[in-house]
Chains A and B, each alone.
Chain A
Amino acid sequence: MSGNEAIAPTDERLKKEGFVARMMKRPELGAIAGVILVTIFFLITADPAMFTLSGVINFMTPAAQLGILAIGAALLMIGGEFDLSIGSMVAFAGLFFAAATVTFGLPLILAIPLTFLFAAAVGSLNGFIVIKSGLPSFIVTLAFLFILRGLSLVGLKVATGGSTQLRGVRDATEGDPLAPFFSGDAFGGSFAWLAENGWIDTFKNGTPKVPGLPVEIIWFVIIALLATWVLLRTPAGNWIFAAGGDTNAALNSGVPVRRIKISLFMVTACCAAMVAIITVMDAGSTDSRRGFQKEFEAIIAAVIGGCLLTGGYGSAIGAFFGSIIFGMVVIGLTYTDFDQDWFQVFLGGMLLIAVLFNNAIRKRVTGER
């Protein structure tokens, strides 16, 4: 990008575009501004404990669990489609994963890839129906929201003989060499070392208050970076923007739109499977309410992150910050004197502001008059 200035010719009719004007056109700007505003709000209103290491981990954990879904949802939205079934997909993949480990006793090295394969197959079915029928993905995936939730319930009852909760995942996965990658905390050693040196808070007995970095936060960061790289630096990223920006123009320019969209549905479903694996291993069980309404939260986080509902615009980094805002608000309210139920009001308000803001940004970018 840096070589531009050298080859950019000057045109006397063009005003010089300042740094601020350039930043204004970045899709993630709103979400970053939002993080700053929400941080200021809680710095003023919340107990200072919120911004200690354990407080930050406290809100980053739900942010990461949502964020993994939101990044998938953002990619799909940029590609011009929605998936309302991701919340139910979390429950369905959770059931599949729990059944694979508990009922069939498979080791993680088989259970995890199988869960991803299974999710990808359901995602591709979603995508295939949307592409073949030409119906809005909104309606097709709304159907799957109910189908998958219902199947999860029925499946749980079959697997457990009547209960809606399948337990025993912890026992089944204990000691598995892959378990530390998908559950618990990472860098425990480093945290202990930091505690020994007095750089982080410890309990009286000297163990650190935060035993390590929850693995979901690490996955969240990795997935955000990967998605950003794909979007901004690979042909596939260009195709995602093109497919969402104008399907017909993209097709006529030789973009494999159908393949891209079906792949995006598969990626989104795999993000749901990722969250399912992490949360099921964390809880040691799965139940039929897992992932309930997560589809809305993920889409809201993506929209706060700058994704346009009409497709073709947005960013993974935006969804990353959108999810952090989400986590901060949900958990932050418990550190304040406000009633926790303000959460929904806060959320709806943020969504509204984000949509209005994105609309204005879009007009700036396209120079729409």
Chain B
Amino acid sequence: MTQGTAPIVEMRNIEKHFGNIIALAGVSFDVKAGECHCLLGDNGAGKSTFIKTMSGVHKPTKGEIMFEGKEMDFSSPRDAMEAGIATVFQDLAMIPLMSVTRNFFMGREPTKGSGPFKRMDVERMNEITMTEMRTMGINLRAPDQAVGTLSGGERQTVAIARAVHFGAKILILDEPTSALGVRQTSNVLATIDKVRNQGIGVVFISHNVRHALAVGDRFTVLNRGKTLGTATRGEITPEQLQDMMAGGQEMATLEGSLGGTV
């Protein structure tokens, strides 16, 4: 159903250097409305660095970013957010000392009143937070509970709920399932599916092939800062994906010796 539509974001030959480290050596990638494009790759492949160029954290050293057909130059995460790109960063970007509500709306607080009496709409913020968290299957004690008191999985869920709430056009999830249990993982995968059906483009980073295959429409594999190619759902088997991620050869032999359990 996504075939033929123009991509919302198109990244062309993105390069990113940190001093003399070449983290990205020319990566092209695009996301269309209503699809889930998975970005796979082993640790250190450059996945996080790549999506950070898409969400305005890093400026690419080279390459261009097209947003809705126009060349875009995000100079801060705020710019990207305002354009409609929401991101769940791998480190979650949450502040432990602050309440769930304050974290949920950090940087995008709804206000009421005007002039010098303009203030945060605390009641509405609390209500939205509680509702969104409940939708994700987490029952908070109170919206003013500090994020530091939540478990890793709960924190991740808050970060995802926040991004889903604000992800107007593109939702980027950097390894969102890494700290989650079985039930919360399927919850997140179901959320991705739901969000995609609303016409939002999802970028889903994972190094778990099964999670990716469960929801992905397209799959791009990154290895040492380069793309190894993009495959469409149905064109590729889990084994092939696994091999590509690991750089091919060694994985096949390792898998043989472990009796195909990896």
A binds B: yes
Q: Which of A232-252 contact B (CB under 8 A)?
A: 233-235, 237-239, 241-242, 245-246, 248-252
The 8 Å CB contact of B127, one of A7, A11, A25, A242, is A7
Cβ A233 vs Cβ B119 within 8 A: yes
How far is A254 from B89 in the complex, measured between Cα atoms in Å? 13
Given the complex, which residues of A lie within 8 Å of B179, measured CB to CB? Answer: none
Given the complex, which residues of A lie within 8 Å of B105, measured CB to CB? Answer: 238
B255 at the interface (CB under 8 A from A): no
B211 at the interface (CB under 8 A from A): no
B57 at the interface (CB under 8 A from A): yes
Cβ A253 vs Cβ B144 within 8 A: no
Cβ B141 vs Cβ A11 within 8 A: yes
Nearest-Cβ distance from residue A303 to partner chain B, whole angstroms: 16
Q: A338-369, CB under 8 A of B: which get 1 and which 0?
A: 00000000000000000000000010011110
A110 at the interface (CB under 8 A from B): no
Given the known A-B contacts A238-B102, A242-B106, are A313 and B122 also in contact in the complex, defined by CB atoms under 8 Å? Answer: no
Q: Which residue of B lies closest to A247 (CB)?
A: B95
How far is A313 from B102 in the complex, measured between Cα atoms in Å? 13
Cβ A254 vs Cβ B142 within 8 A: no
The 8 Å CB contact of A248, one of B55, B81, B93, is B93
How far is A156 from B101 in the complex, measured between Cα atoms in Å? 51
Cβ B123 vs Cβ A3 within 8 A: yes
Given the known A-B contacts A4-B143, A252-B57, A256-B78, are A366 and B106 also in contact in the complex, defined by CB atoms under 8 Å? Answer: no
Cβ A241 vs Cβ B93 within 8 A: no
Q: How many residues of B contact A (CB 8 A)?
A: 43
Nearest-Cβ distance from residue A234 to partner chain B, whole angstroms: 6
Q: Which of B147-191 contact A (CB under 8 A)?
A: 148-150
The 8 Å CB contact of A238, one of B118, B120, B143, is B120
A14 at the interface (CB under 8 A from B): yes
A312 at the interface (CB under 8 A from B): yes
Q: B46-90, CB under 8 A of A: which get 1 and which 0?
A: 000000000101000000000000000000111001000001010
Given the complex, which residues of B lie within 8 Å of A4, measured CB to CB? Answer: 126, 130, 142-144
Given the complex, which residues of A lie within 8 Å of B122, measured CB to CB? Answer: 1, 233
Given the known A-B contacts A233-B119, A367-B148, are A249 and B126 also in contact in the complex, defined by CB atoms under 8 Å? Answer: no
Cβ B149 vs Cβ A255 within 8 A: no
Cβ A313 vs Cβ B120 within 8 A: no
Cβ B141 vs Cβ A367 within 8 A: no
A9 at the interface (CB under 8 A from B): yes
Q: Which of B81, B93, B146 has the most CB of A within 10 A?
A: B93
Cβ A7 vs Cβ B130 within 8 A: yes
Cβ A14 vs Cβ B95 within 8 A: no
A23 at the interface (CB under 8 A from B): no
Cβ A254 vs Cβ B95 within 8 A: no
How far is A248 from B92 in the complex, measured between Cα atoms in Å? 11
A8 at the interface (CB under 8 A from B): yes
The 8 Å CB contact of A3, one of B91, B126, B134, is B126
Given the known A-B contacts A7-B127, A252-B87, A365-B146, are A242 and B108 also in contact in the complex, defined by CB atoms under 8 Å? Answer: no
Given the known A-B contacts A3-B127, A238-B106, A253-B77, are A233 and B120 also in contact in the complex, defined by CB atoms under 8 Å? Answer: yes
Given the complex, which residues of B lie within 8 Å of A176, measured CB to CB? Answer: none
The 8 Å CB contact of A245, one of B97, B119, B120, is B97
Given the complex, which residues of B lie within 8 Å of A337, measured CB to CB? Answer: none
Cβ A362 vs Cβ B106 within 8 A: no
Q: Which of A14, A238, A365 has the most CB of B within 10 A?
A: A238
B246 at the interface (CB under 8 A from A): no
Given the complex, which residues of A lie within 8 Å of B27, measured CB to CB? Answer: none
Q: A2-27, CB under 8 A of B: which get 1 and which 0?
A: 01100111110010010000000100
Nearest-Cβ distance from residue B76 to partner chain A, whole angstroms: 7
Cβ A234 vs Cβ B98 within 8 A: no
How far is A308 from B199 in the complex, measured between Cα atoms in Å? 44
Q: A46-67, CB under 8 A of B: which get 1 and which 0?
A: 0000000000000000000000
How far is A237 from B98 in the complex, measured between Cα atoms in Å? 12
How far is A306 from B146 in the complex, measured between Cα atoms in Å? 17
Given the complex, which residues of B lie within 8 Å of A3, measured CB to CB? Answer: 123, 126-127
- A contact set with B: CB distance below 8 Å: 1, 3-4, 7-11, 14, 17, 25, 229, 233-235, 237-239, 241-242, 245-246, 248-256, 308, 312-313, 362, 365-368
- B contact set with A: CB distance below 8 Å: 55, 57, 76-78, 81, 87, 89, 91-98, 102, 105-109, 111, 118-120, 122-123, 126-127, 130-131, 134, 139-144, 146, 148-150
Interchain Cβ contacts under 8 Å between A and B, 10 examples: A4-B142, A11-B141, A229-B119, A234-B120, A238-B120, A246-B93, A250-B107, A254-B77, A312-B98, A367-B146
